Amino acid sequence: MLMSVIADRLKNVSISASAAMTQRARELAAKGIKVVSLSSGEPDFPTPAHAIEAAHAAALAGDTKYPPMDGTPALKSAIIRKFKRDNNLDYDASQIVVSGGGKQVIFNAMLATCNPGDEVVIPTPSWVSYADIVKFAGGVPVAVPCREQTGFKLRPEDLEAAITPRTKWLFLNFPNNPTGAACSRAEMAAIADVMLRHPNVWIMTDDIYEHLVYDDFQFCTIAEVEPRLYDRVLTMNGVSKAYAMTGWRLGFCAGSKEMISAISNVNGQNGGGIATLTQAAATAALDGPQDLLRERAAIYKTRRDFVLDKLSEVEGLRCHRPEGAFYIYPNISGLIGKTSRGGRKIETDVDFVMGLVEEHHVATVQGAAYGMSPFFRISYATSMEKLGEGCARIAQFCKEMR
């Protein structure tokens, strides 16, 4: 019998649950079933026209050769201006690296820094890929629960208790995927106070939902709140969510020269420079008119409020009001133990989302994928028509349970 060709490092790395549910929705749609997909965290807005025009102009001008490994000078300059404008953070070109999406930034950073057994503290619920990327790099993810009762925020005392001599990194993602929770300046300062007591722990802050905040909430990032942490914070962002450029695949980060050099080294081995046309488009998006960010955030807020109003009427569901991102994370504890009309016993949130997609054809993602149950994630980055239909089907699915 031949030995398996698959590397051991993949044994504990799972397929993204949101990607799996999106694929299931596509399979049902291929059979002619009308599926309402609320599983994908992808804006339904178009890429800004000026960004597309910049890519087109770059192509016509012959900007189609190999790009610099860490980003074009024009894009890095735009990123420097973005960090100063939005976050009051000063970086130079040697402190910036561009990658193929925010996920690659995180992946490259972990490969560049994690030794076997290094621990990475991850506030949970968390994006499905964080823990798997850490495992892939040989690290050990350490989940720190952020409870619904405290608004899914990271409590300083819980963070303090999770840090050990083996801790290499702390991940921060506020506004958060999947809960939409965000940290105020005071809450971020309390986290920073803990980190000041642990000078050997680095901080990765995933600020991809920075511009998607509501109700006059003011976004802040930890290196801005506590400048004494500046040298050991890797601030990651991108153009995918705010500018609706998911398919362009571009993320970027800023940090110490030593860290950026290491990440750039990994970048050069697993991908190389990012497509020149994508970089031209991202430069235009970052330097162009920013009014669309507020306009789109206002639309997301309307959608958030609509979904909250509809689901608050559903017996068995309880919804936290998110400060940002474009997700709602309903608690389904009131439905555990019931049976759906189709005969499915709801013992877990996995049972719930599978029953929902199979019986009422609404695709969502189970809370277990994000490390906290019994919840499920809804993305409201879609039209009001789909949200209305989706909420109605969810309500009917829950109403039919006995």
What φ, ψ does residue 242 adopt, rounded to 5°? -65, -40
DSSP per-residue letters across 293-305: HHHHHHHHHHHHH
The tokens describing 183, both together, are 């940290």
**Dihedral class, residue 333 (left if φ above 0, else alpha if ψ from -120 to 50, else beta):** alpha
**Residue 357 clears pLDDT 80, i.e. is over it:** yes
In terms of Cβ atoms closer than 10 Å to its own Cβ (0-12, 13-18, 19+), residue 91 is buried
Residue the block writes with tokens 């040697």: 94
Please give the CATH topology (third level) of the domain spanning 13-46+292-399: Aspartate Aminotransferase, domain 1 (3.90.1150)
Check if the beta carbon of residue 221 is closer than 8 Å to that of residue 227. Answer: no
Q: How far apart are CA 251 and CA 242, in angstroms?
A: 12
Q: How far apart are CA 173 and CA 243, in angstroms?
A: 18
**Residue 2 clears pLDDT 60, i.e. is over it:** no
Q: How far apart are CA 128 and CA 141, in angstroms?
A: 12
Q: What is the mean pLDDT of the chain?
A: 95
Q: What is the average pLDDT across 349-361?
A: 95
Please give the CATH topology (third level) of the domain spanning 49-287: Aspartate Aminotransferase; domain 2 (3.40.640)
Maximal C-alpha separation, the chain: 64
Instruction: Show me where the domains of the chain are located.
Output: 13-46+292-399, 49-287
Give 175-219 pLDDT, tens digit per residue.
Answer: 999 999 999 999 999 999 999 999 999 999 999 999 999 999 999
**pLDDT value for 3:** 58
DSSP per-residue letters across 210-272: TT-B-TT-----HHHH-GGGGGGEEEEEESTTTTT-GGG--EEEE--HHHHHHHHHHHHHHT-
Residue the block writes with tokens 């059979």: 31
The tokens describing 333, both together, are 């504890």
Q: What is the average pLDDT across 345-359?
A: 95
Q: What is the average pLDDT across 30-48?
A: 93
Q: How confident is the model at residue 232 (pLDDT cuts 50, 70, 90)?
A: very high
**Residue 1 clears pLDDT 50, i.e. is over it:** no
What one-letter code names the amino acid at 284? A
Q: How far apart are CA 264 and CA 188, in angstroms?
A: 29
Check if the beta carbon of residue 401 is closer than 8 Å to that of residue 346. Answer: yes
Q: What is the average pLDDT across 153-174?
A: 98
Report the sign of the C-alpha dihedral through residues 171, 43, 104, 374, in that order.
Answer: positive
Please enumerate in sequence order all residues whose Cβ is within 8 A of that of 320, keeping only pairs 6 or more positions apart, or say none: 148, 151, 152, 179, 180, 181, 328, 329, 331
* Nearest residue to 307 (alpha-carbon basis) of 292, 293, 321: 321
**Residue 15 clears pLDDT 80, i.e. is over it:** no
Give 295-304 pLDDT, tens digit per residue.
Answer: 999 999 999 9
Q: How far apart are CA 283 and CA 55, in angstroms?
A: 10
Q: How far apart are CA 354 and CA 357, in angstroms?
A: 5
**Residue 220 clears pLDDT 60, i.e. is over it:** yes
**pLDDT value for 21:** 78
* Nearest residue to 279 (alpha-carbon basis) of 8, 110, 91, 68: 68
Give the CA-trace dihedral at 267, 105, 164, 209, to 10 degrees: 170
CA distances from 208 to 205, 269, 314 (A): 9, 25, 31
